[in-house]
């Protein structure tokens, strides 16, 4: 996490639990901006990238809850 704790988050939504068909997405900026496209489903994963360290690979989580 960056010293200020600011993160960019990108969420990808899938049509089913196989995670092969993207149904939509969301970008959440550290400034509070939010951009959506497609549809949201329960099948998703996301990545968070610290703003001060955005050149490194983001951490990625899979959430099929």
- How many distinct structural domains can be found in the chain? 1
pLDDT tens for each residue of 1-56? 333 556 788 999 999 999 899 999 999 988 889 999 999 999 999 888 876 544 44
- For 56-65, letters b (16+ CB in 10 Å) and e give eebeeeeeee
Beta-strand pair 34-38/43-50? unpaired
- Residue 50 is predicted with a pLDDT of 77
Work out the burial of residue 42: count CB atoms within 10 Å of its CB; fewer than 13 is exposed, 13-18 middle, 19 or more buried.
Answer: exposed
Question: pTM of the predicted model, to two decimals?
Answer: 0.64
In a domain, 16, yes or no: yes
In a domain, 63, yes or no: no
In a domain, 65, yes or no: no
In a domain, 59, yes or no: no
On whether the CB atoms of residues 12 and 44 are closer than 8 A, the answer is yes
Mean pLDDT (whole number) for 55-65: 49
């Amino acid at each position: 996490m960056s010293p200020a704790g600011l993160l960019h988050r990108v969420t990808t939504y899938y049509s089913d639990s196989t995670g092969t068909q993207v149904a939509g997405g969301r970008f959440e900026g550290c400034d509070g901006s939010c951009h959506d496209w497609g549809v949201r489903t329960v099948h998703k994963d996301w990545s968070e990238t610290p703003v001060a360290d955005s050149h490194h690979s983001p951490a990625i989580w899979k959430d099929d809850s």
